Structure 1
């Protein structure tokens, strides 16, 4: 390699050094992503009554956690934030087994798909479910 080629490669090496091979910091999670994760993980949390209770605001925990464990949840559109609350459309579908429950002999829900508006409440740094109608 001659001197001129070496000089031309210096900016390339400098650029690669600045860019790096990837950032060690994880990408920032938005408030909406945090809220959506709370909703989409509800089916798994419902398999354990204690974990299920932590997903909801105080006083809003449904007693029928088994019904929630037998369904899956998917965000069906953009959430609407109003202060510390968010209303989000949630697609609810049946035929799902709870993954954290110990009793695998239970039948999966055979209810059809529906979409409901759920209300989430910001509690400290976390989103928690305030209202979660199944249909």
Structure 2
């Protein structure tokens, strides 16, 4: 009987330590959300609608395919001003293009490396690109 009690107690402790009080889901920070909008741009450039949704209405670049040929990495401190943020972004080539693939084959981009400052704006709680020059 003592063994069953100890076993039940251990089971209860294990369950309570994994469940805990409240949600175990971790919400991303505001900064992580803004950075994800920058660093994921090359991946979504292959889809016209997703690409357009990543930008503030009226500021979608016409050269979507060029954005798919590059990779993006936040390379410094973001500067916040209310619902707007500026971010230094390292833009590099050598990634496989996601826009305009022919039969699933793609070649690495030969685009060089540069650094630009991009501007994002929060619209309805989501960070969207307002100005994202390539170079």
Give the TM-score category using the shorter length. Answer: 0.7 to 0.9
Match of residue 49 from structure 2: 50
Name the CA distance, whole Å, in 2 between partners of 1:72 and 1:49.
17
Does structure 1 residue 118 correspond to structure 2 residue 118? yes
Q: Is the 8 A contact 1:77 1:89 kept in 2?
A: yes
Name stretches of at least 5 consecutive residues in structure 1 with no aligned partner. Answer: 3-9
CA contact (8 A) 2:45 2:98 kept: no
Count of matched residue positions in the alignment of Structure 1 and Structure 2: 130
SS at match of 2:24: coil
Deviation at 1:25, TM superposition (A): 2.4
Query: Which segments of 5 or more consecutive residues in structure 2 lack a partner in the other structure?
Result: 3-8
2:18 to 1, 9, 20: 20
RMSD: 2.7
Provide the rounded CA distance (Å) in 1 between the counterparts of 2:31 and 2:58: 23
- Structure 1 CA distance, aligned partners of 2:97 and 2:49? 14
8 A Cα contact 1:46 1:98, kept in partner: no
TM-score of the aligned structures, taking structure 1 as reference length: 0.80
Partner of 1:64: 63
Kindly indicate whether the alpha-carbon contact (under 8 Å) linking 2:71 and 2:95 is maintained by their aligned counterparts in 1: yes
Secondary structure of the residue aligned to 1:116 is strand
Q: 2:68·2:99 contact (CA, 8 Å) conserved in 1?
A: no
